[in-house]
Amino acid sequence: MAGQEAEIGALGIIILAGVIGRLFLKKTGVSDVFLLLLFGACAGALLQPDVVEGMGALMLPLGAVALLMIIMDEGLRLSFESLRKQLHKALFLGILSFSLAFALSFAISYWLFGLGMLLSLIVAAIFSSVAPELLSGFLFALGASESAKAIGEIEVTITDSLSVMLALVLSGSVARGGIDIDLSALPADIALVLLLSAACGSLLAALWKAFVSQIAEENEHLVAIGLAALLYAGSSLIGANGVVSVFIFSFFLGNTTHQAIEEVRKFQSEITFFLRTFFFVYLGVLLFHSPKPAEVALAALALSLLLALARAFSSRAVGFFDPTARKGRLLETVSSRGLSSAVLSVIVAGELSNSGVRQAIDLPLLALFVIFFTNLITAFFVLKKRKLE
pLDDT averaged over every residue in the chain: 77
Does the residue 108 lie in any domain? yes
Q: Is the pTM of this model over 0.95?
A: no
Tell me phi and psi for residue 27, to 5 degrees: -80, -35
What pLDDT sits at residue 2? 45
pLDDT at 124 over 90: yes
Q: Can you tell me whether residue 126 is helix, strand or coil? A: helix
Q: Of 367, 350, 375, which is closest to residue 60 (Cα–Cα)?
A: 350
Cα 211–chain centre separation = 32
Distance CA 123, CA 363 (A): 8
Does the residue 280 lie in any domain? yes
pLDDT digits (tens, 9 = 90+) for 327-352: 545 667 788 898 889 889 988 888 88
What pLDDT sits at residue 371? 93
Q: Of 24, 309, 333, which is closest to residue 152 (Cα–Cα)?
A: 333
Distance CA 88, CA 82 (A): 11
Does the residue 10 lie in any domain? no
Is residue 184 very low, low, confident or very high in pLDDT (cuts 50, 70, 90)? low
Does the residue 343 lie in any domain? yes
Question: In the chain, count of helices (H) and strands (E)?
Answer: 15, 0
Does the residue 8 lie in any domain? no
Least confident of 81-85, 340-344, 348-352, 372-376: 81-85
Report the domain count for the chain: 1
Domain that holds residue 331: 35-177+184-388
Does the residue 319 lie in any domain? yes
Distance CA 353, CA 359 (A): 8
Burial tier of 204 (Cβ tally within 10 Å: 0-12, 13-18, 19+): buried
Is residue 107 very low, low, confident or very high in pLDDT (cuts 50, 70, 90)? very high
Could you tell me the CATH number of the domain that includes residue 334? 1.20.1530.20
Distance CA 186, CA 188 (A): 6
Does the residue 49 lie in any domain? yes
What is the percent of the chain where pLDDT is above 90?
11
Does the residue 2 lie in any domain? no
Q: What's the mean pLDDT in 64-85?
A: 77
Burial tier of 60 (Cβ tally within 10 Å: 0-12, 13-18, 19+): middle
